[in-house]
A and B are shown apart, each in its own frame.
Chain A
Amino acid sequence: MFDRGEALALLQLGDSAFPAGGFAFSWGIEGLAADGLLSDRSDLDGVIADHLAQRWASMDRILLRRAWHASDSDAIAAVDRLAEATTPSAEMREGSRRAGRALLGVWVKLAGPLSVSYRARVSADARLGHLAVVQAITGRDAGLTVDAAELVSGWTLITGLVSAAVRLGLIGHIESQQSLARARAFLADLLAETPDDDALPSSFTPFIDIAVSRGPLRHVRMFTT
Chain B
Amino acid sequence: MSVSEPEKPRLDLSFVRRGGRTVIDRRLFAWPFVLTRSFHTDAARPDVLSVILQTGSGAVHGEDRLTQRFRLHAGAAVCVTTQGATSVHRAEPEARAVEHVLLRVAAGASLDYRPEPRILFPDAALSQVVELDCDPDAVALVTDAFTMHDPDGQGRLFRELDSTLMVRRQGHEPLLIDRMHLRNPATALFNGRRAFGSAVLMLPQTHDRAALRLRLAEALARINDLYAAASLLPDGAGIGVRLAAREVRQLRAGFDAIAAVFREIDLGARAAQAPSAAATARPTAA
User: Which A residues form the contact surface with B (CB < 8 A)?
Assistant: 35, 37, 46, 50, 54, 58, 81-82, 84-91, 93, 127, 200-204, 206-207, 209-211, 213-214, 217
Contact = CB atoms under 8 A, between A and B. Distances in A.
Contact of B229 (A200, A204, A213): A213
A204 B191 contact: no
A157 B162 CA distance: 25
B179 A200 contact: yes
A202 B233 CA distance: 17
Contact of A81 (B3, B173, B240): B173
Top-5 shortest CB links A-B: A213-B229, A90-B232, A202-B181, A213-B231, A204-B180
A46 B189 CA distance: 8
Contacts, number: 86
| Residue picked from A93, A211, A214, most chain B C-beta under 10 Å | A214
Interface in B109-138: none
A214 B179 contact: no
B231 A127 contact: no
A35 B174 contact: no
Interface string B233-248: 1110000101110000
B175 A85 contact: yes
Contacts of A210: 227-229, 242-244
Contacts of B179: 86, 200-203
A47 to B, nearest CB: 10
B229 A86 contact: no
A210 B235 CA distance: 20
B176 interface: yes
Interface in B1-48: 1, 3
Given A37-B191, A85-B234, A127-B234, A206 B176 contact: no
29 contacts: A54-B189, A58-B181, A82-B1, A85-B1, A85-B173, A85-B177, A86-B179, A88-B176, A88-B178, A88-B198, A88-B234, A89-B231, A91-B231, A127-B235, A200-B1, A201-B1, A202-B162, A202-B180, A203-B179, A203-B180, A204-B180, A206-B227, A207-B191, A207-B227, A210-B227, A210-B228, A210-B229, A210-B244, A217-B214
